[in-house]
Amino acid sequence: MKIIKRSGIEDGFDLEKIIAAVRKANASVVETDRMSEEQIQTIAGNVERTCQALNRSLSVEEIQDLVQNQIMDQKAFHVASNYITYRYKRDLVRKSNSTDEQILSLLECNNEEVKQENSNKNPTVNSVQRDYMAGEVSKDITRRFLLPPEVVEAHEKGIIHFHDADYFAQHMHNCCLVNLEDMLQNGTVISETMIEKPHSFSTACNIATQSIAQIASSQYGGQSITLSHLVPFVEISRQKFRRDVRIELEEEAINVNDTKINDIAERRLRAEIRQGVQMIQYQVMTLMTTNGQAPFVTVFMYLDEVEAGPQRDDLALIIQEMLEQRIQGVKNEKGVYITPAFPKLIYVLEEDNIHEDSKYWYLTRLAANCTAKRMVPDYISEKIMKQLKDGNCYPCMGCRSFLTVYEDPDTKKPKFYGRFNQGVVTINLVDAACSSGGDMDTFWKLLDERLELCKTALMCRHNRLKGTPSDVAPILWQNGALARLKKGETIDKLLYGGYSTISLGYAGLCECTRYMTGKSHTDPSATPFALEIMNHLNDVCHKWAAETNIDFSLYGTPLESTTYKFSKCLQERFGMIPGVTDRNYITNSYHVHVTEDIDAFDKLSFEAQFQKLSPGGAISYVEVPNMQDNIPAVLAVMQHIYDHIMYAELNTKSDYCQVCGYNGEINIVTDNDGKLVWECPECGNRDQDKMNVARRTCGYIGTQFWNQGRTQEIKERVLHL
């Protein structure tokens, strides 16, 4: 059994330390108030059994809380008082140097909490350590100076979650849709170097990847680009190749017709498209931003985003190449092709590609093969999205954050690219339910109180961005990625009127409903309550937007490490409630619980009604086995997505053991200390440094492993197909 020390280091559970601490507190009171040795042993035994039952590594603070409660149970109130006083004094001392301890543990690569905080960051790499060190300082400044005490307290108790506090000290926003069209057509500036409009497709791809890296270093969330912005450069390259071929043949005195010239030029064009797409795929994977990770970038593939005819056919060429290269994968250090985490791909299902007799059905079949082997692309239904987004279809920012529809005052048309999200604060719905004791009136009252706390926290995010000069990130605000503001001009006008969004996240609708009704939210008698919560959260967002002229939007939070944090806080506050707090994770947003038996089609249809009520972003998934030999089933799911839900994905498995060469699903098992670890079923390898594991945990694919809460959630997922 392990514990997590205050510095984040994992250590062995030592019962004698607990006994010694209780004896010390016991000796500090007069003899008549002291406990017997038998009572002390009872306290220690109860604490040990509780820790074992939780089946995870507890923090020192959690263990001290258990000890404190056990002393109170023994009616030794004076001993408990002295124990509490001692803890308080020690906390005051630690507050002066806690950041130092965290940073030192980071440098020594033994901070277990940070190691598993982000499944796409390797904490042993210098650049990641540098980012984490800066993050610790930022979080410290944020806690002590930048946030109101009530927000800090609610965040630490897991009542709400103030996302990305490690970047809050800087004036940075969350995620965006990159206006790559503006940057390519009108030129941009990268690292004080003028980049003019490219004269070929491959150059456009190169500029795109360089821009992606710069943008990722200027914000903390995901970004999305669309392949349609690259399409005009296909024709530029085509005409260039035709000219070059004609000149070459004329110089050799070879007399050929235009058809032959065009055929040769087209072969060269295909080679350039292959080279350009490879550049995007490999550079995104190998570029490292200032926060020590590959850019969190999503590539949007939407045929109807360009006019039908030659342009759409050129877009189809790019999409085909993107899918074929992704199916191949990238080589790991052993030279074996594996599944990369980035870029994330989104493929839009539409009338031109969803039926077997559709013109671009071959692309949909290719997408199905890619999903079966590499977990991407994910799928947007043009039909359903247009129903929900006023006739528009456009990508999410990063993995799931969606903009609201905004009309450009100049063009009088909807504008999406060049917009962004200001940030997220998430409410823990499970805590609101448990705090109510199951009383409905109390629940709604508590929910409103906590939503006001969320609004306070969200306004802190907004006000932190307010007054930000465009000079802090020229590529974003001055050079076209998001805007063309003047030097010294603030970004304030982009924060109001719906140009950007700000997100109220929510987590644990499933467990909240179970606690308040005694049933899963999939139960027809409990579903109305879950929908009532969703409608209420939307009503609150609309009310805030009307009051502030800021576009608040409800967002299905992609909990990663926070799912573990919330569960630990719930267990500490409310104990182990079956079906509610008895696991080391809570459920993302509105999702069906991972252990619930439900088939893929029913799950997507059920969750569609909740996705509709998450206009600020959400994604649904189905968990499937190896589907490479059952592509018709993948296509059936895709067609169901097209007819029933706006945005969904299929979670397949794609692992590799570097010790024995096993290529399949690597399992999660429990070691002798009760810790969940990854194990190769072929050779028993448990060394995470000698295996490649890819799992989708929050919209993006993660490849650097996860904390114990998320690992348990992955282990307990049932198959939906």
Among residues 7, 120, 228, 421, which one is catalytic? Answer: 421
Listed residue (481, 469, 494, 495) closest to 214, CA to CA: 481
Give the rounded distance of the alpha carbon of 411 from its chain centre. Answer: 33
Amino acid at 397: M
Residue 88, pLDDT score: 64
- The answer to whether the CB of 666 falls within 8 A of the CB of 680 is yes
Whether residues 512 and 530 share a domain: the answer is yes
C-alpha Rg value of the chain to the nearest Å: 27
CA distance 189 to 257: 42
Weakest-pLDDT range from 52-56, 91-95, 399-403: 91-95
More confident site: 116 or 710: 710
Whether residues 167 and 185 share a domain: the answer is no
175 catalytically annotated: yes
Among residues 62, 560, 607, 649, which one is catalytic? Answer: 560
Query: What is the count of structural domains for the chain?
Result: 2
Residue for token pair 């950007």: 500
618 secondary structure, DSSP code: -
Whether residues 246 and 168 share a domain: the answer is no
Q: What is the pLDDT of residues 654-702, one digit of tens each?
A: 789 999 999 889 999 998 888 899 999 999 999 998 999 988 876 778 7
pLDDT over 80 (residue 647): yes
Using pLDDT thresholds of 50, 70 and 90, give the confidence band for residue 117: low
- On whether residue 135 sits in a domain, the answer given is yes
pLDDT over 60 (residue 110): no
pLDDT over 60 (residue 371): yes
CA distance 558 to 163: 11
Question: In this structure, what are the phi and psi dihedrals at residue 269, rounded to the nearest 5 degrees?
Answer: -65, -45
- On whether residue 651 sits in a domain, the answer given is no
- On whether residue 316 sits in a domain, the answer given is yes
Residue 166, pLDDT score: 87
- On whether residue 495 sits in a domain, the answer given is yes
CA distance 199 to 266: 17
Do you find a cis peptide bond into 681, omega within 30 degrees of 0?
Answer: no
Q: What is the pLDDT of residues 68-104, one digit of tens each?
A: 889 989 998 889 888 887 776 666 555 554 555 555 5
Using pLDDT thresholds of 50, 70 and 90, give the confidence band for residue 307: very high
Amino acid at 194: M
- On whether residue 657 sits in a domain, the answer given is no
Amino acid at 139: K
- Residue 320: strand pairing partners: none
Among residues 35, 175, 176, 657, which one is catalytic? Answer: 175
- On whether residue 370 sits in a domain, the answer given is no
- Opening angle at CA 222, ends 218 and 228, nearest 5: 105
DSSP 354-391: SSTTSTTHHHHHHHHHHHHHHS--EEEEHHHHHHHTTT
Amino acid at 244: D
Q: What is the pLDDT of residues 579-602, one digit of tens each?
A: 999 999 999 999 999 999 999 999
Q: What is the pLDDT of residues 615-632, one digit of tens each?
A: 999 999 999 998 999 999
Residue for token pair 């409310």: 574
Whether residues 505 and 439 share a domain: the answer is yes
Residue 412, pLDDT score: 94
Query: What percent of the chain lies above the pLDDT cut of 90?
Result: 70
Would you say how long the chain is, in residues? 721
- Element counts in the chain: helices (H) and strands (E): 24, 24
Q: At what angle do helices 361-374 and 631-644 cross, to 10 degrees?
A: 110
More confident site: 462 or 30: 462
Q: What is the pLDDT of residues 187-240, one digit of tens each?
A: 999 988 999 999 999 999 999 999 999 999 899 999 999 999 999 999 999 999
Among residues 418, 699, 702, 709, which one is catalytic? Answer: 699
Whether residues 150 and 201 share a domain: the answer is no
- The answer to whether the CB of 142 falls within 8 A of the CB of 168 is yes
Whether residues 180 and 325 share a domain: the answer is yes
pLDDT over 90 (residue 246): yes
- On whether residue 240 sits in a domain, the answer given is yes
Whether residues 323 and 209 share a domain: the answer is yes
| Average pLDDT of span 335-344 | 88
Q: What is the pLDDT of residues 541-561, one digit of tens each?
A: 999 999 999 999 999 998 878
Question: In this structure, what are the phi and psi dihedrals at residue 140, rounded to the nearest 5 degrees?
Answer: -65, -45
Question: Is 395 exposed, middle or buried, given 0-12, 13-18 or 19+ CB atoms closer than 10 A?
Answer: buried
Query: What percent of the chain lies above the pLDDT cut of 70?
Result: 92
401 catalytically annotated: yes
Residue 98, pLDDT score: 52
How many C-beta neighbours within 10 Å does residue 612 have?
16
- The answer to whether the CB of 533 falls within 8 A of the CB of 429 is yes
Q: 176-177 and 223-226: which strand pairing?
A: parallel
Which helix H or strand E contains 667, and what residues bound it? strand 667-670
Whether residues 154 and 230 share a domain: the answer is no
Using pLDDT thresholds of 50, 70 and 90, give the confidence band for residue 137: confident
Whether residues 213 and 140 share a domain: the answer is no
Among residues 82, 119, 353, 401, which one is catalytic? Answer: 401
The chain-wide mean pLDDT, for the chain, equals: 90
Among residues 1, 176, 183, 399, which one is catalytic? Answer: 399
pLDDT over 70 (residue 106): no
Final residue of a domain: which of 521, 556, 591? 556
CA distance 537 to 555: 10
Residue for token pair 């800066």: 134
- The answer to whether the CB of 273 falls within 8 A of the CB of 233 is no
- Opening angle at CA 277, ends 272 and 664, nearest 5: 135
Whether residues 204 and 343 share a domain: the answer is yes
Whether residues 127 and 217 share a domain: the answer is no
Residue 100, pLDDT score: 55
pLDDT over 60 (residue 38): yes
Amino acid at 579: G
397 catalytically annotated: yes
CA distance 394 to 402: 9
179 catalytically annotated: no
- Residue 111: strand pairing partners: 9
| Average pLDDT of span 315-341 | 91
pLDDT over 60 (residue 105): no
Question: In this structure, what are the phi and psi dihedrals at residue 227, rounded to the nearest 5 degrees?
Answer: -65, -20
393 catalytically annotated: no
CA distance 122 to 347: 29
Strand residues in 400-447 grouped as ranges (E)? 421-428
CA distance 554 to 535: 10
> 639: helix, coil or strand?
helix
Q: Cα-Cα-Cα-Cα dihedral of 359, 365, 366, 367, to 10°?
A: 100
CA distance 469 to 487: 8
Listed residue (420, 287, 384) closest to 342, CA to CA: 287
- The answer to whether the CB of 615 falls within 8 A of the CB of 402 is yes
Whether residues 169 and 295 share a domain: the answer is no
pLDDT over 80 (residue 109): no
Q: What is the pLDDT of residues 169-188, one digit of tens each?
A: 889 999 999 999 999 999 99
Among residues 51, 397, 460, 680, which one is catalytic? Answer: 397
Q: Which residues fall within 8 angstroms of residue 259, CB to CB, at 6 or more apart? A: none
325's tokens: 């290269």
Final residue of a domain: which of 330, 349, 368? 349
pLDDT over 70 (residue 714): yes
| Average pLDDT of span 409-422 | 96
Listed residue (381, 390, 386) closest to 346, CA to CA: 381
Highest average pLDDT, of 290-294, 410-414, 431-435, comes from: 431-435
- Residue 650: strand pairing partners: 622
488 catalytically annotated: no
CA distance 505 to 684: 40
- Look up the domain containing 510 and give its range: 122-173+420-468+479-556
Among residues 360, 499, 555, 647, which one is catalytic? Answer: 555
More confident site: 650 or 109: 650
Among residues 174, 381, 479, 651, which one is catalytic? Answer: 174
- The answer to whether the CB of 396 falls within 8 A of the CB of 552 is no
- On whether residue 362 sits in a domain, the answer given is no
Final residue of a domain: which of 535, 556, 577? 556
Weakest-pLDDT range from 231-245, 271-285, 505-519, 534-548: 271-285
Residue for token pair 């039952």: 53
